[in-house]
A and B are shown apart, each in its own frame.
Chain A
Amino acid sequence: MYPFGRGSKRLIPYLLLLIPLLLYVVFYAGPSVMTVIYSFTDMKNVPGTEVNFVGLDNYKSLLFSGNSSERWASIGRSLYFMFVVTILQNGIALLVAVVLNQRLKGDKAYRAIFFLPVVLGVAVVSLIWSLMFDPISGPVQQLYSVFGYKDTFFGSFTHAFNYIIFVQIWMYMGYSMLIFLAGLQSVPRDLYEAGHIDGTSRWQAFRSITFPLIAPSFTVNMLLSIIGAMQTFDIILATTDGNFNTRTMAYDVYKETFRGSLDMGLPAALSVLQFLVVLVFVVVAVKQMRQREVEY
């Protein structure tokens, strides 16, 4: 009953937990807090240069300077990306999960195939779709040609961003599907049987039994896709490199940090800004979702 003994020995698990906690504080919490502090300074990545507290200057220069309209456009695009990806990705994933949960023949193979893009990783997925979307000889263009339609895909100012959204959903749908599937499989069969006896239709069964019971998976999926979507910069980097109206907040953070000047204040401020936007949506989403979770 007392795996760690009694008395002072009860402290051992806490001491053990202290080790990873310390690692997190040093390598995660610390830098995160420092980011917030940097965002109020003109710190540069050159040793020996003095660091001054500049108040809100970095934020002002982000939101109210010559090219701020682009920043606002990036924020707008991030939100659009987040909404479209969250809704479509989870919608499709839920549908696929429900279908696969019917114990079809070869359902394991389907599951593996749908999950495969996650395993492939962003670089491979981006390469695949860059080839698919080749405007001269790519298969998608050949399909379009049947309908007499031409596109430049990732080189199109009007469509490139939607193609990126498509790739994002294609890549991560399997991930959401897997979480839904796990949720679906934990729904007790007898509830359906009881429902069947009471004469529920399939839709009623889904709405009143399945949906409430997989609410925890729903919460997890919503959170993961909201955060994932707001954080995505890698697919953008690999497909359009931010050209053709495809910059998002996360891409801008990457660009300002690793490609911009030696200034550290501005990218830090941008990170904080991004964090605040994500925070708002995550808080709202968590609140909404938690209310819906039930236990029978």
Chain B
Amino acid sequence: MLKRLSALLLASSLVVGLTACGGSEKSADSGSNQSGGKKVIKMLHWKQSNINTVLEDINKQFEEKYPEYKIEYITTGPDDEYKQASRTRITAGDVDIFADLSGMRLSPKEWTPGAKVPDWQQWIDSGLIADLTGQDFIKNYVPSDIEQAGTYNGKVYGIPTGKVVMSGIFYNKDIFAKYGLEVPTTWSEFIKLNDTLKENGVTPIGMAGKDVWPLKLPAFGLQAHILGGGDQEKFIEGVWKGTSKFTDPDAVEVLEKMKTIQDEYTMDGFMGVDYGTIPSYFATGKVAMMPNGSWEAPTVAAANADLNFGYFPIPATENADVNKALVGKYDMTWYVAEKGKNKEGAIKWLEFFSEPDIYAQFVKAAGFLPTMPDVKTDSKFFDEEVMPYMDGFQLAYEILMINRENVGEHLAAEGVHTEYLAPGGEFKTAKELAEVQQKEWDSAAPKQ
């Protein structure tokens, strides 16, 4: 009996415990914030070499200018590991300044009953984030950027350090020139261009289906210009209120256009290709185009320094004027912890960071579009290929969309999941997928 019991105990001990150890972990109090007579500022960030390097450099300059401070720059692995580390440290008061992956988003509205409150908002509501309203350095940034990505309940809590664009398509200028092709400005021109490439034996598009999320990037462009007749916020509010549906012609059109891109023009087997290898297909001319975010420009250039490439917004509709606005999001955003041991130091650092020449060093290395006016990035790619399309810049669907809690997997993570379309997925037509999405949306409705 004892033998059996111990086998059971062994078994059970192996199973339970994952959650408990994950959630309630508290990091030890590090005691004093003094180090050799200097006041320590604890800065938390994820590992991303270009940004880490420039921040270390900026930190050094800061320490030279303000010798009374010492910065402890802590980096963790990205994504889940960072999320866990930041949650733990913020709740334990063991950090003074930290970065978040994007600007404020997903905050519930009065028309979104039952929507989940995002982490950053819970932190602010619990008094864990410092109020930056009225700090002088905020004036250095574009007011609308601070308003859209760093303001909550009329108070400034976050500093968005830059924007990225996501709805563009990288194209190989040499291949385009070879076949006499021009940058398409309408959907039908885009289709014609793809057909010409195919006829000449060139694979038009390279895209990574295995990671699933890269398929969202061109979809963002389609969604921004097609949903709600070009007003995706209207569409989003409509699906909550029941005045628009995922089966509406505009929503189905987005799925259909994605299906066309995926089935007709994207390389064979793209559903098994992972994101990291796609730039090499593009850089070596194996595909003529690559829908991707502006952040991949350095990777492409590094993969083939001689490559002559450009960038254009995916032409979602037949209206060239509408099509030319790029879609994107705010990237890394700074928050100061209210309960940290050195809030003053953190704000001092942010002030230093926000000096235009320091900020310029950062934004150049990070590869973001600046959120500070008149800051030059010295990037030919940005100046020639991206800036012409920045008028009417729109936030991406995944930033604006607020999901219902427990919504099904065909709508999860603020996406429309075109990977479920045939031939990779089970849905033969866009309409079928749209119907499942609407059904999942309805069944996730909060119970009265």
Residues on A lying within 8 angstroms of B by beta carbon are: 28-29, 31-32, 34-36, 38, 44-49, 61, 65-70, 130, 133-136, 141, 150-157, 223, 227, 230-231, 240-241, 243-244, 253-254, 257-259, 261-262, 264, 267-268, 270-272, 274-275, 278-279, 282-283, 286, 290
Contact = CB atoms under 8 A, between A and B. Distances in A.
User: By DSSP majority rule, is chain A's interface helix, strand, loop, or mixed?
Assistant: helix
A257 B269 contact: no
B11 interface: yes
Contact of A150 (B118, B269, B407): B269
Interface in B195-250: 209-212
A67 B408 contact: yes
Interface of B: 3-4, 7-8, 10-24, 79-80, 83-84, 87, 91, 116, 118-119, 122-123, 126-128, 209-212, 267-274, 277, 404, 406-409, 412, 419-420, 424-426, 440, 443-445
A118 B55 CA distance: 39
Contacts, number: 178
A198 B26 CA distance: 67
A263 to B, nearest CB: 8
A271 B123 contact: no
A34 B443 CA distance: 32
Most buried by A among B80, B272, B425: B272
Between A243, A268, A286, the greatest number of chain B beta carbons within 10 A of the residue's beta carbon is seen for: A243
A268 B12 CA distance: 15
A259 to B, nearest CB: 6
Contact of A38 (B7, B19, B269, B274): B19
Given A35-B20, A65-B444, A153-B272, A44 B122 contact: yes
Given A38-B20, A243-B419, 13 more contacts: A47-B126, A66-B444, A133-B272, A150-B269, A154-B272, A155-B272, A155-B424, A259-B80, A259-B83, A261-B119, A262-B87, A271-B16, A271-B19
Contacts of A36: 16
Residue of A49, A240, A254, A271 with most partner-chain B CB within 10 A: A271
A69 to B, nearest CB: 8
Given A32-B13, A66-B440, A130-B274, A286 B122 contact: no
A68 B408 CA distance: 8
A267 B16 CA distance: 11
Contacts of A152: 209-210, 269-272, 424
4 tightest Cβ-Cβ pairs between the two chains A and B? A31-B20, A66-B444, A152-B272, A135-B272
Contacts of A230: 15
Contacts of B426: 157
Given A61-B406, A67-B440, A258-B80, A241 B4 contact: no
Contacts of B443: 66-67
Nearest to A290: B4
A153 B274 CA distance: 11
Given A66-B444, A67-B409, A259-B80, A156 B271 contact: yes
Contacts of B126: 46-49
Contacts of A69: 408
B206 to A, nearest CB: 10
Interface centre among B19, B79, B273, B426 (most CB of A within 10 A): B19
A49 B408 CA distance: 28
